[in-house]
C-alpha cells in the first residue's frame, strides 16, 4: 500500500521502527539499542587512539570524534559514520561502536555530530553533514579511500551527502563507497506524522531533502564507486519499500549498487552488530575497502 492511502495511525505505525522488532517490546528495544551503542563506543575508545570533539564548523554541535588505528601506514581508508535517531535523538557520543572491528584492520572511523531537532532543522543538518565531509577530507589528505556509513536518519543524511553539488564547496570529496543501513529516502510521508513535530518540515523542505528525488543529479564517478543499500528483514514495509525504491533508482542511473536484505535482523540490531568483525555487513564493508 502506498503511504498516501494509509490513515495516520497506520502511517505512524509503519514509521515507528521500535514497533516492528520481534525481540522485545518497543520501549525495551530502544533502551537496549542505546545501551548497545554506548557499550560499543566505550570499547572503541579503549581500543583506538581518539581525537574527540574536533570542530568542523563554528556551531557548538559541529564536532567530530575520530578513532585512529595504531598503524604507521599513511595509506588508510576512512569511514564517516552518521548516526540515526530520527534527526532528534542520539549523538556522536554513542556513535564510535563500528570502530571496534575496523581499527584492527587499519581503518579510521569518524563519528559526526550534528544539531538534532528541535535545535537543528533539516536544511541545517544536511548542510552540517556535507561540511563535515569536506572538513574530514581537508584534515586527512593522506587517506586511501573515503567511505560513508549511515543508519536510519543517518542513512538519509549520508544519501544527501551523495546528492551534493560540490561546486558550491571548496573541495569535491572523492567518495569511494556508501553503506546506507535501514534508511529513509523520501521524507514526504514523515511530514504528516508525529515525527515531524520537532522537525517542523514543510512540504517544500521534505521534497528538497528527499534523496529519492535527487538521484538524477548524482555526480559520482561511477568507476570504483559502490553503494550498498541494506535493510532489515524485520524493518516495517514502509522502510523496506523505501530502501528498495532508492536501490532501484540508483541502479537505473547506472551506479554500482547492491541491495542487502539482512535476515534475522530488525531496525536496531542490523547496525548494532557492526561492532562484530564476523557480522555479514562488517565483512561486506571491509571487502568494499579492500581490507577483508
**pLDDT tens readout for residues 113-161:** 999 999 999 999 999 999 999 999 999 878 889 999 999 999 999 999 9
> In terms of CATH architecture, what is 3-288?
3-Layer(aba) Sandwich (3.40)
Confidence at residue 44, expressed as pLDDT on a 0 to 100 scale:
97
- Tell me whether residue 163 is one of the annotated catalytic residues: no
- What percentage of the chain has pLDDT greater than the value 90? 82
Give 229's DSSP letter.
E
pLDDT per residue over 173-223, tens digit each? 989 999 999 999 999 999 999 999 999 999 999 999 999 999 876 766 556
C-alpha span between 152 and 117 (Å, rounded)? 15
Query: What's the pLDDT at 94?
Result: 97
Nearest to 143 by CA among 85, 78, 83, 209: 78
Please report, for residues 178, 236, 247, the alpha-carbon distance to residue 122 in angstroms, rounded to integers and kept in the order given: 21, 23, 23
Checking if the pLDDT of 35 tops 90, the result is: yes
Instruction: Give mean pLDDT, residues 227-239.
Output: 97
Q: Is 235 a catalytic residue?
A: yes
- The number of beta carbons lying within 10 Å of the beta carbon of residue 290 is 11
Among 33, 83, 151, 267, which one carries the catalytic annotation? 267
The helix, strand and coil proportions of the chain, stated in percent and rounded to the nearest 5, come to 45, 20, 40
Q: What is the mean pLDDT of residues 163-175?
A: 90
> For position 221, what pLDDT does the model report?
57
Domain regions of the chain by residue span: 3-288
Share of the chain above pLDDT 70, in %: 98
Please name the helix (run of DSSP H) or strand (run of DSSP E) that holds residue 148, with its range, or none: strand 143-151
Q: What is the sign, positive or negative, of the torsion defined by CA atoms of 119, 202, 210, 12?
A: positive
Catalytic residue among 132, 135, 152, 243: 152
pLDDT value of position 142? 80
Task: Give the active site residue among 163, 182, 186, 235.
Answer: 235
* CA gap 281, 233 in Å, rounded: 14
For the cut 80, the answer to whether the pLDDT of residue 164 exceeds it is yes
Model confidence at 40: pLDDT above 60: yes
- Whether 152 is a known active-site residue: answer yes
Amino acid at each position: 500500500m502506498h503511504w498516501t492511502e494509509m490513515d495516520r495511525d497506520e502511517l505512524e505505525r509503519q514509521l515507528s521502527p521500535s514497533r516492528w522488532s520481534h525481540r522485545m517490546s518497543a520501549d525495551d528495544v530502544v533502551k537496549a539499542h542505546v545501551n548497545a551503542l554506548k557499550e560499543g563506543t566505550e570499547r572503541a575508545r579503549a581500543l583506538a587512539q581518539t581525537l574527540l570533539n574536533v570542530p568542523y564548523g563554528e556551531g557548538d554541535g559541529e564536532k567530530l570524534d575520530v578513532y585512529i588505528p595504531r598503524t604507521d601506514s599513511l595509506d588508510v581508508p576512512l569511514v564517516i559514520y552518521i548516526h540515526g535517531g530520527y534527526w532528534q535523538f542520539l549523538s556522536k557520543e554513542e556513535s564510535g561502536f563500528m570502530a571496534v572491528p575496523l581499527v584492527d584492520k587499519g581503518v579510521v572511523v569518524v563519528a559526526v555530530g550534528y544539531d538534532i531537532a528541535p535545535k537543528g532543522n533539516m536544511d541545517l543538518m544536511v548542510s552540517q553533514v556535507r561540511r563535515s565531509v569536506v572538513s574530514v577530507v581537508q584534515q586527512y589528505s593522506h587517506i586511501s579511500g573515503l567511505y560513508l556509513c549511515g543508519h536510519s536518519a543517518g542513512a538519509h543524511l549520508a544519501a544527501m551527502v551523495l546528492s551534493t553539488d560540490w561546486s558550491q564547496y571548496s573541495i569535491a570529496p572523492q567518495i569511494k563507497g556508501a553503506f546506507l543501513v535501514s534508511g529513509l529516502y523520501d521524507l514526504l510521508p514523515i511530514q504528516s506524522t508525529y515525527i515531524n513535530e520537532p522537525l517542523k518540515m514543510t512540504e517544500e523542505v521534505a521534497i528538497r531533502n528527499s534523496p529519492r528525488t535527487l538521484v538524477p543529479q548524482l555526480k559520482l564517478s561511477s568507476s570504483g564507486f559502490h553503494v550498498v543499500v541494506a535493510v532489515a528483514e524485520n524493518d516495517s514495509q514502509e522502510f523496506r519499500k523505501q530502501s528498495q525504491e532508492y536501490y532501484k533508482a540508483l541502479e537505473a542511473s547506472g551506479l554500482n549498487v547492491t541491495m542487502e536484505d539482512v535476515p534475522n535482523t530488525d531496525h536496531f540490531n542490523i547496525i548494532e552488530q557492526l561492532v562484530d568483525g564476523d557480522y555479514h555487513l562488517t565483512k561486506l564493508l571491509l571487502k568494499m575497502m579492500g581490507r577483508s
